[in-house]
Amino acid sequence: MAGKKYWRLTALSVAGAGLELTELRLCGAAAPLDADAVFSCSEQPQAGALEVLRDGSTAQTCSFSAAQVAVPGFRFEWIFAEAVDVQQLRLGSSAASQAFPGACLLEASDDGLSWVVVADWTGILFPGPNAATDLALTALITEKVKLLLHCDGPDGGNAVVDASPLARVLVNAGATIRTAQSKFGGASLRLDGAEGHLYLPNQAELRLLGDFTLAAWVWIDPASSSSFNTVMSQRNGGSLGWGFFVGSEGTVLLQGNQGTISYILAPAGTVQKGVWQHIAAARKSGATRLFVNGVQRAMATEAECSWASDTSSPFCIGYQRATGTYPYVGYIDEILVSEQCLYQSEFAVPAAPYGSSSNLGGWPVKSDLFDAAVVLLGTPVLPHRVLGDRKEHSLDVEFGGQGHIFGTVACKGTPANVPLKRRVRLHRSRDGYLARETWSKADGSYEFREISTQYEWDVIAWDHEQQDFSTVANNQLAEVTP
């Protein structure tokens, strides 16, 4: 990715009473980059000094209490004189495995104000007592994405939008958007096995020449009898090309044909019919791996397999158009082609659509709104601390604070207002940034806690029944929680 001047590590998750680290470094491909960076933490260490985290040794420990780690916005931050391209995060452990982080987020910024998530690690393994482990940045790099299909839309539609920066226009040859099955977004791409597919002609940028990732969520129809369900392929009518398939016996196959067929094959029974499963093929430095539901099932070296196709080959989803073979029968969601290797070892399958990590929402505020139809009424709520998941926790860096917002959504009436269950959204007033959303309860009450008091906020009540206009309260200030 492009270099950044500002970096921060947030949302650290520990299982024990606190956090203990012996090393914390931002590294390039082989060596630390942060020796001259201004390094800080939002909390003072309970024991040890921050500088021991950059001394190149795992002998000394810097520790923080569980209460410190749980403070909204707890983070480590690096500020560089010039932009740097971080490729790895180095974590050093103490002797206590329960004090080692099992998950964390790395974020980056050009100006220290607008941040994006560049790496999201879960299931980090304890490297052993007083040992270090290097975590590669595997977040989706936008400029590396060559095709990204969320497969969303109205039931029966045929417009499939490419969400990659290239915004390619795919030709639809009989594929349909359906809401009967979906992994994310409420819809997916239905392929009926009768040659229905999507394609792009003459796509040189989709050749598999260097590092790459092919990934998708697949749902194979239990009635499918196709010997190879084509997830995606790029092949001409002759011998050049590649194909990514799910076989009739539950195999997963990445096949290359350069005059001689070569392939990587995950064994029978790897993919089950009638359920959503994540499949991926990823290559890094000549080693190609197949993953099913995050588990590595096969690997081959460059000497054993080659995938590059010629530039005249059509790129297809659901069918091999050039040869008229191997139709896919079932549903596909979240189709990704990237020139970046996202997976080199076992991983937690995506819990959200690809590309969503850089668009995470934040933390929000209060309001009293009146409209001819819908009303937000301020009502006191006893303050107490509630932490969301670790991604939400990390966003407290930007939106967290001691403020408190609460209220009631109601329909104005006589003799009394009628409480309503409605979606309530919080936007930062200055730029419209969606910071948080919630639903009011059956009694109409809603609340947001631990909100920054440095911003003004716009609060909106949305009527999902489409009977009334949305109601907005502009430029609201959060009240300080006592």
Q: Please give the single-letter amino acid code of residue 447.
A: E
Q: Half-sphere exposure of residue 433, counting CA atoms within 13 Å on the CB side?
A: 17
d(CA 128, CA 394): 27
Selected residue with higher pLDDT from 382 and 448: 448
| DSSP-derived 3-state class of residue 261 | strand
| DSSP-derived 3-state class of residue 144 | helix
Domain(s) labelled CATH 2.60.40.10 in the chain stretch across 374-480
pLDDT recorded at residue 378: 37
- List beta partners, residue 471: 461
Highest mean pLDDT among 298-312, 336-350, 359-373, 381-395: 336-350
Task: Work out the number of other CB atoms within 10 angstroms of the CB of residue 482.
Answer: 6
Query: For 166-190, what is the mean pLDDT?
Result: 91
Confidence of residue 262 (pLDDT cuts 50, 70, 90): low
The distance from CA 473 to its chain's CA centroid, rounded to whole angstroms, is 31
pLDDT recorded at residue 75: 93
pLDDT recorded at residue 322: 73
| DSSP-derived 3-state class of residue 180 | coil
Confidence of residue 151 (pLDDT cuts 50, 70, 90): very high
d(CA 417, CA 409): 9
* pTM: predicted TM-score of the whole model, two decimal places: 0.52
User: Does residue 356 carry a pLDDT above 90?
Assistant: no
| DSSP-derived 3-state class of residue 55 | coil
Query: For 385-409, what is the mean pLDDT?
Result: 57
User: Does residue 63 carry a pLDDT above 80?
Assistant: yes
d(CA 448, CA 404): 6
Confidence of residue 311 (pLDDT cuts 50, 70, 90): low
d(CA 378, CA 50): 44
Kindly give the residue spans of alpha helices, DSSP state H, lying in 344-475.
390-394, 396-399
Query: Which tokens hold the place of 358?
Result: 């850089």
| DSSP-derived 3-state class of residue 222 | coil
Query: For 326-351, what is the mean pLDDT?
Result: 86
- Cβ atoms 322, 356 nearer than 8 A: no
- Cβ atoms 103, 390 nearer than 8 A: yes
Q: Please give the single-letter amino acid code of residue 402.
A: Q
pLDDT recorded at residue 94: 95
User: Does residue 363 carry a pLDDT above 80?
Assistant: no
Task: Work out the number of other CB atoms within 10 angstroms of the CB of residue 477.
Answer: 17
Range scoring the smallest mean pLDDT among 188-197, 297-306, 346-355: 297-306
- Cβ atoms 319, 326 nearer than 8 A: yes
User: Does residue 7 carry a pLDDT above 80?
Assistant: yes
- List beta partners, residue 174: 197
The answer as to CATH 2.60.40.420 being correct for domain 374-480 is no
Domain(s) labelled CATH 2.60.120.200 in the chain stretch across 143-354
Per residue in 410-419, pLDDT (tens digit) is: 887 767 778 8
Per residue in 102-129, pLDDT (tens digit) is: 888 888 888 888 777 777 776 688 889 9
Highest mean pLDDT among 82-86, 350-354, 462-466: 82-86
Residues in Cβ contact with 210 at an 8 Å cutoff, skipping those fewer than 6 apart: 283, 339
Query: For 454-472, what is the mean pLDDT?
Result: 76
- Cβ atoms 264, 305 nearer than 8 A: yes
Residues in the chain: 482
pLDDT recorded at residue 18: 93
Per residue in 129-142, pLDDT (tens digit) is: 999 998 877 555 56
d(CA 23, CA 51): 9
Hey, which CATH number is domain 143-354, 3.40.30.10, 2.60.120.200, 3.30.360.10, 3.30.70.141? 2.60.120.200
